Amino acid sequence: MQFAMESFDEKLSRTAAQLGLTLEQMPRHIAIIMDGNGRWAQQRSLPRVEGHREGANIIERISLHCVALGIESLTLYSFSIENWKRPKAEINALMHIHSEHLVGIRPTLMNNNVKLLHLGRIAGLPEPVRNDLTDTMDMTSANTGMKLALALNYGGRAELVDATQKIAQEYKNGKLRLKDIDEQCVSQHLYADGLADPDLLIRTANEMRISNFLLWQISYSEFYITKTLWPNFTRTSLERAIMAYAKRTRRFGTVKTS
């Protein structure tokens, strides 16, 4: 495992020094809304599916970049609940690409100590995708390095509904008291309990929407919008986003004092 022997702080400190930053200026959890696959294909007179296929290849490259940088968690918006409204042929192609990618990325995840997590309604996925996703998560469950969270069949509102239903059921069963239901309780009932809130949210292809992504978790995330289409997103693109993040002053509702 190329990067497994170093702690996150050691890797982040090394990256920070290379970028001329301090450890405190580095994000630990990055979330990305990956946009622009279709436009990338259109610019090359290719079918949209080829853009999605290239986008899947970029996932592996950017994940490896984040491992090398020392990022603790990377969350990628891969397929939303609303995406089921797309043409059936495109959905079928996307599901096939997901299955193919979930199997193909296993050696990379294992060789780099990466743990795969899933955000979303797994029961709503086609059986082959569900099986490949579950098998890959099981295979990487003992890994202790970066957490790679794939938001697949995901919606922020659906996540909050599902969390609320779990809380209500536990209250009904006497496992929770009314005074136990607070922000921490809600967070613990989201799809990935224990996954820290994102420090930095990147959206590609110059889109200016949240698109129902991590509605609870991004309450104090810093946003970075780039015109770069997802298939053109590189390590340089990632580091440019980190440098922009480093210039922000995160107040979390307070007033900065000198």
Point out the residues that are catalytic: 35, 83
Buried/exposed 136-173: b ≥16 CB within 10 Å, e otherwise: bbeebeebebbbbbbbbbbbbebbeebbeeebeebeee
Q: Are 73 and 145 in contact (CB under 8 A)?
A: no
Lookup: tokens for 93: 């192609």
Lookup: tokens for 98: 């997901």
Residue recorded with tokens 């610019």: 43
Lookup: tokens for 252: 């979390």
Q: How far apart are CA 28 and CA 75, in angstroms?
A: 11
Q: How far apart are CA 161 and CA 101, in angstroms?
A: 29
Lookup: tokens for 236: 């340089």
Between CA 103 and CA 105, with CA 241 as vertex, the angle to 5 degrees is 5
